[in-house]
Structure formats: C-alpha cells, structure tokens
Amino acid sequence: MDSIKNRRSIRKYKQDEIPASLLNDLLEEAFRASTMGNMQLYSVVVTRDKQMKEKLAPAHFNQPMVTGAPVVLTFCADFNRFSKWCRARKAEPGYDNPISFLNAATDALLVTQNFCTLAEEHGLGICYLGTTIYNPDQIVEILQLPELVMPVATITVGYPDECPSQVDRLPVQGLLHDEVYHDYSVEDIDRIYAYKESLPENHRFIEENQKETLAQVFTDVRYKKADNEYMSGILKATLKKQGFEK
C-alpha cells in the first residue's frame, strides 16, 4: 500500500475544511478495527472550534499543528459508556482497574492507527501528538472527560500544505526476533543504528544541541529521565482520578 509506504507526518495544513460527512465515514470505517470482546472501548472527541483548539494547545506544548489544523481528534480509552450500559441492564461492571484501562487504551490505539491509514489514503495529512499522555490531566479538564475515560492519542488532520522528506527507519531485521528475543550485543547496536547515525540531519542535530552523540540529544534534551519521572506521576494521578486504579 503506497499510502502507508510513502507516508510522512504532516504539520502544515491548507485552510480547507474537512467535510463532516467525510470525517464521519473515515471514523466509521476505522471503528472496524479489532476490539476486545466487541466492546468498542473508545470515544473520539472532535475539535473544530478555534477557541477549543487554543485551550488544547498548551496541553500539547503549543505545537502549532493544534491551532493550525482544521480538525483535532482526541482518541480516548472509554469504559464509561460500557459501564453505564451495564448498570442500565441489571449488570454490575468491574472495569475500574489497570487491566481495563490497558484494554480500553489498546482498543483506542488500534482505532487511531486505522483512522490515520484511512485519512492518508483519502489524501489527508495527519500528525500524531505524543503529548496527550504527558498532560492527560489538562486534556481531561478541557474536554470534560468523566470517570473511566482517559485520553490516549491526539491526531491533527487536514489537507497537506507541505511535503517533507520521509524520515529514516531502523533496518527491519534489527526489530525482528525469530522464536525468542535475541538480546542485542554492542555490535548489533552499532549495525542497527549505523544508518541513522550517518545521516547529515542527525549530525546537524548533535551540533545544534551541542552534544557529543545523537543518543545524548535524546537523553539530555528531548526525553529526559527527570521529565519522564515527573510525567509518570501525572499519568498515575490522572489514571487514579479517572477511576482506573481500584
């Protein structure tokens, strides 16, 4: 499938709106993804309103795609709807626990990827915002998510107004393991990361950040231990607040 093979994240969008019927159709098709026991443990909040985008932007560290895209979609793990159905049908739900969160998050993420594939196949561009799980507390408040609903993915969507070059990927054999996991030797690591480390853009990246190695840009600048620990605290507190920690 060329739309998957040639894909790139799109961060600049034309001002053209996405017709509501198209968005609806793409989401409906995306909902054909596999789902735990056919429970469909997800909801999608659709943001088109300018003021709502401005409210959401800080939760996504003000990445310009949030206010620049015609549509922002927040995919949520949702055991609220299912639990409400149970209670309305003389059944007592027991989904206020970590495994249920992970079940619902899985459902939501499969649907998210399905939506991205379908959107790109229809000529739309998307950008996946990893920031959703860094500031879930803010997103819960802005989108008024009730108990047993937790945001897990945000996608900005629109007609592409750029065509960036495709980014690198590690060689496929470095990610596959036959029968059991074969742990990596230093030589394996050297081989797997050689191409990535050879790229001029990554040399520039090291220089710009005044680091010695590309890995240091990740550990010291982009994804720091202290930040990860701080955000882990927010994640745990939000899961508890949303009722998934019983």
Place of tokens 């920690």: 245
Among residues 52 and 57, whose Cβ is nearest to a copy of itself? 52
| Binds a copy of itself by CB under 8 A, chosen from 174, 195, 209, 241 | 174
Minimum Å gap between C-beta 227 and a copy of itself is 8
Residues 181-200 that bind a copy of itself (CB under 8 A): 181, 183-184, 186, 189-190, 192-193
Residue 139 touching a copy of itself (CB under 8 A): no
> CA nearest 73: which of 134, 105, 119?
119
Exposed/middle/buried for 101, CB within 10 Å: 0-12, 13-18, 19+?
A: buried
Among residues 4 and 163, whose Cβ is nearest to a copy of itself? 4
Cα–Cα distance for residue pair 194/70, rounded to 1 Å: 39
| Binds a copy of itself by CB under 8 A, chosen from 92, 165, 200, 207 | 92
Place of tokens 């745990």: 236
Minimum Å gap between C-beta 16 and a copy of itself is 20
Minimum Å gap between C-beta 135 and a copy of itself is 11
| Binds a copy of itself by CB under 8 A, chosen from 11, 68, 77, 114 | 114
167-to-7, 9, 164 alpha-carbon distances in Å: 9, 9, 9
121-to-7, 21, 205 alpha-carbon distances in Å: 10, 16, 32
Minimum Å gap between C-beta 50 and a copy of itself is 11
Q: How does DSSP classify residue 17? A: P
- CB distance 68 to 16 below 8 Å: no
Residues 201-220 that bind a copy of itself (CB under 8 A): 212-216, 218-220
Helix (H) or strand (E) holding 153: strand 149-158
> CA nearest 111: which of 161, 71, 77, 88?
77
Minimum Å gap between C-beta 189 and a copy of itself is 5
| Binds a copy of itself by CB under 8 A, chosen from 59, 71, 116, 157 | 116
Residues 144-173 that bind a copy of itself (CB under 8 A): 144-146, 149, 152-153, 167-170, 172
Cα–Cα distance for residue pair 113/108, rounded to 1 Å: 9
Residues 9-68 that bind a copy of itself (CB under 8 A): 9, 24, 27-34, 36-40, 42-49, 52
Among residues 18 and 118, whose Cβ is nearest to a copy of itself? 118
Q: Which region holds residue 228: left if phi is over 0, alpha if psi is between -120 and 50, else beta?
A: alpha
Q: Which stretch binds a copy of itself (CB under 8 A): 10-18, 58-66, 123-131, 157-165?
A: 123-131
Q: Tell how far CA 103 is from the center of its chain.
A: 16
Minimum Å gap between C-beta 39 and a copy of itself is 7
